[in-house]
Structure 1
Amino acid sequence: MHTIFSEGVEKLKQDVESFMEEFVYPNESVYEKQLNEGNSRWSIPPIIEELKNKAKQRGLWNLFLPNAHEETGLSNYEYAPLCELMGRSLIGPEVFNCNPPDSGNMEILLRYGNHEQKEKWLKPLLAGEIRSCFVMTEPQVASSDATNIEGSIQRDGEEYVINAKKWWSTGAIDPRCKVAIFMGKSDKHALKHEQQSMVLVPMDSPGVKIVRYLPVFGYDHAPIGHAEIHFENVRVPVSNILYKEGKGFEIAQARLGPGRIHHCMRAIGAAERAIELLCKRAKERIAFGSTLAEKDVIKEIIAESRIEIDQARLLTLHAAHKMDSEGAKAARKEIAMIKIAVPRASINVIDRAIQVFGGAGVTEDFPLAAHWANARTLRILDGPDQVHLRDIGRLELKK
């Protein structure tokens, strides 16, 4: 593995970084102001569409698609530094149409969708005209084991009848969310990993009920949000199946590899922004006769933070490189390793920055508290730490 990127990728890095500096950071406060001024926090701040149009005009759009984007053809490795830059802002990924869960859903539709499904759902998603959600996790079972899923997909003639209680469906409350990728069991008697299927469910289907939004450490994440959704005898055409019946687990596994790398690079971006804010604060703040930056204890935490960030980045780039060169299955251990190491590093760095900021660090005046909440949640997303630690241990023992 090398850590030198092509001229094309370096140019894209410069373009994304310039766009972040010129448009994204200055408009974070505008976004929050518009969000709070509207009739509802679940309405879309106009600034986000303005920024999306600017990014699209500059060709900084859908950069996440590995080896499929006609203009960039970026691999996971090449996209990683761009993803990191976007992750420095909570609104950054959406500005470039590289935001989860839409990015993962677009990858699914690109790889497994048929022509009709791509025309109806993938095209408007790629254009940033609509949003989507991924509906898998259930409150009554340990959803870290996807074979536990109990949501029902039963065929009735030329329709599927869907019944389930789902939650942590990110983006479902967003008024632009038009379709859900639903994972449930279509055959309880099949082999363990062939019982599940994925079906496209329009959000306006009769029987789809958003019961409540789920805050994260008090953050509602409006206007996107995380929802508990009940599906009560929801009927969709059989043609809405993704790929074929019994392939839901396979599709889910294919979705997770790039998704975990994206999550980790965004978390590294948040940590980078945190250490920058920490250093700036330490240089400006005076306590006990000198700036905080002059105190050895602050120099130590800055050093620890730099070490952890660079370790996390290199480990993630290694995982991305291996997945590109040998496939997601071969990179299983490396992907599990970054899923453990990166959130831990990000949490540590952001927490140190909060400590230096004092009371200001836990307010909404700075992005630190919100980034910390995201990083802590990342230790649960796409499988908790314990699942990945188990897998890493098994693979080491097998060696």
Structure 2
Amino acid sequence: MFELSTRAQQFIEKTQQFIQNEIEPIEAEFWKEMHHLNQGDDWTTWQWPAQLEQLKQKAKAAGLWNMFLPDAELGQGLSVQEYAHIAELSGRSLIAPAVFNCNAPDSGNMEVLWRYGSETQKEQWLKPLLDGKIRSVFCMTEPEVASSDATNMQATAIVEGDEIVLNGRKWWSSGLGDPNAKIIIFMAHTPDASKDRHHQHSMVLVPVDTQGVKIERMLPVFGDYDAPHGHGEVSFDNVRVPISNFIGGAGQGFEIAQGRLGPGRIHHCMRCIGAAEKSLELMIDRGMRRTAFGKEILKLGGNLERVAEARVAIDQARLLTLYAAYKMDTLGNMAALTEISAIKVVAPNVLQQVVDMAIQIHGGEGLSHDTPLTGFFAQARALRLADGPDEVHKGMIAKLELKKRGYASRKK
């Protein structure tokens, strides 16, 4: 079921070698410079270390570029399952996804434009994104409503003549602080009484410098601004863009979102598994190098059992995620709804569990920037909310299980 082609195996081996030879040796230095360059919440001064562009050029020259995109011309033509293994490898590093131009939210936004964008939109925005020349933002979550139910959305995209007028406020808009962020995908309510509630939302392309777009602030996650990427709050005050900036047409927002989120969740989950593997390795190395009370720390208390529990949990999560990817490749997203929801619950929780164990073994160092553990922990905890909280995904799984037994919900 999970057999890989020779070509996919070659990509996996090349990716692994690139991470080991090019990224891991400079990663500690990279993050030291990153924290030096980007202090505080003034996103107007944020910048990437020069090493990132150098690594990106090396990755592009090696053909390790846009591997997430299943298009053989614009990407590398890998299936979802094949790319999943690469996503796991890149998850071991907090910078590897950006080096390979496979980082969120850009990968999801590029896939939206590839699947649903017009030829003009592809030329203007997809091409420079694929080239790695610009970055993008996805604006969906709102501060005033429970975004776990996306139909609560208050932001509006109203057609007036040959323009779309946008109003609303979004937050946790990832990538908003990036100095190279040039384009926003804005999801909003487009009221239409003739359509059902899942066909009254639209996705609209909005250049960051459009009049009426105002970045209000950057939002810290556990006290860290994740600069220069950043997660921000942004307001849209009578923003006007051409009607041609609708992606796929008015009212297609939810359909596009499902197409975007399916592969994206596989990517997120496999990156979580890679981060969990890295955390387990760090945990073992730290626990066997340090001693207390005459023994290696890893041999004290129940720490060895925790290592075994981590191994079992990681392998279970990987198999479930690969199975979801297999079903998406062979049967389509709709046939994999249960598995997609299941991995979105399982993978971040496994990472959170494993990285917490690793932090405990590291002691005070585990709370610092000297290891990637705090970044992995923030990633895990945030993903239990991003792309739908755990509770929504569990609700979907339960609904589908009831449906199998003939208990489909009835409209009253």
1:17 maps to 2:16: yes
1:47 to partner: Cα distance? 0.9
The equivalent position to 2:343 in structure 1, one of 338, 361, 383, is 338
Aligned to 1:110: 114
1:133 alignment partner, one of 131, 134, 137: 137
**What corresponds to 1:121 in structure 2?**
125
Q: Please report how far the alpha carbon of residue 66 of structure 1 lies from its aligned counterpart in structure 2 after TM superposition.
A: 2.2
Letter in 1 for 2:33: Q
Q: Residues 30-81 of structure 1: CA distance to partner in whole angstroms, max 9, x if unpaired?
A: 3223323437661121111111001000000000012445673111000001
The aligned runs of 1:249-260 (5 Å cut-off) are 249-260=254-265
Report how many residues are paired. 398
Contact 2:23-2:96 at 8 Å conserved across structures: yes
Change (3 A) 1:39 1:387: closer
| Residue 91 of structure 1 pairs with residue 95 of structure 2 | yes
Structure 1 residue 294: Cα displacement: 3.5
Contact 2:167 / 2:238 at 8 angstroms: preserved in 1? yes
- Residue 329 of structure 1 aligns to a residue whose secondary structure is helix
| Alignment deviations for residues 153-203 of structure 1 (CA, whole Å, 9 cap, x no partner) | 112221111111110110011110000011111225232111111110000
Rounded to whole Å, the distance in 2 between the matches of 1:54 and 1:179 is 25
**Counterpart for residue 326 of structure 1:** 331
- Deviation per CA, 1:289-335, whole angstroms, max 9, x where unpaired? 12123446221111010000000000000000001100000100000
* Contact 2:66/2:75, CA 8 A, preserved across alignment: no
Matches within 5 A, 1:161-176: 161-176=165-180
Q: For 2:252 and 2:87, how far apart are their aligned partners in 1?
A: 29
In the alignment, structure 1 segments of 5+ residues that lack a partner are none
Paired residues for 1:178-197 under 5 Å: 178-189=182-193, 190-197=195-202
Pair 1:344–1:167, CA change in 2 (3 A)? same
Residue 5 of structure 1 aligns with which residue? Answer: 4
CA–CA separation in structure 2 for the residues paired with 1:69 and 1:328: 23
The DSSP-based 3-state class of the residue aligned with 1:377 is helix
Pairing 1:280–2:285 present: yes
Gaps in structure 2 of 5+ consecutive residues: 40-44, 405-412
Hey, what's the Cα distance between the residues in 1 that align with 2:72 and 2:326?
A: 17
Q: Shift of residue 217 of structure 1?
A: 1.0
DSSP 3-state at the match of 1:215: coil
Q: 1:34 is matched by which residue type in structure 2?
A: E
Identity of aligned residues (%): 53
TM-score (norm 2): 0.94
Query: What's the offset of the Cα at 1:27?
Result: 2.1
C-alpha distance in structure 2 between counterparts of 1:67 and 1:121, whole Å: 17
What secondary structure does 1:271 align onto? helix
Moved more, 35-44 or 208-217: 35-44
Deviations for 1:86-122, whole angstroms, at most 9, x for unmatched residues?
A: 0111111000000000000000000111111000000
Do the aligned residues in 2 keep the contact of 1:30 with 1:47 (CA within 8 Å)?
Answer: no
Partner of 1:36: 35
C-alpha distance in 2 between matches for 1:89 and 1:160? 40
CA–CA separation in structure 1 for the residues paired with 2:185 and 2:75:
27
* Contact 1:67/1:75 (<8 A) preserved: no
Aligned equivalents of 1:223 and 1:28: distance in 2? 16
Instruction: Name the counterpart of 2:152.
Output: 148
**Amino acid of the structure 1 residue aligned with 2:348:** P
Question: Any conservation in 1 of the 2:142–2:170 contact (CA below 8 Å)?
Answer: yes
1:370 aligned onto 2:370: no
Given that residues 34 and 46 in structure 1 are in contact (C-alpha distance below 8 angstroms), is that contact kept between their aligned partners in structure 2? no
The AA in structure 2 aligned to 1:85 is L
- What pairs with 1:221-236 in structure 2 (closer than 5 Å)? 221-236=226-241
Rounded to whole Å, the distance in 2 between the matches of 1:361 and 1:44 is 25
What's 1:317 paired with?
322
Equivalent residue letter for 1:105: N
What's the C-alpha RMSD, in Å, of the aligned pairs?
Answer: 1.4
Hey, what does 2:408 align to over in structure 1? none
**Displacement after TM superposition at 1:261 (Å):** 0.6
Aligned partner (choices 63, 80, 100) of residue 67 of structure 2: 63
Query: One-letter code of the match for 2:154?
Result: E
- One-letter amino acid of the counterpart of residue 346, structure 2: A
State how far apart, in whole Å, the 2-side matches of 1:195 and 1:375 are. 32
Return the offset for 1:373.
1.0
1: distance between equivalents of 2:26 and 2:125?
29
Q: Compared with structure 1, are the counterparts of its residues 267 and 248 closer, same or farther at alpha carbon in structure 2 (3 Å cutoff)?
A: same
| Distance in 2, Cα, partners of 1:301 & 1:282 | 12
CA distance in 1 between counterparts of 2:260 and 2:160 reads: 28
Q: Are the equivalent residues in 1 in contact too, given 2:59–2:99 (CA < 8 A)? A: yes
Q: Find the aligned partners of 1:301 and 1:295 in 2 and give their Cα distance.
A: 11
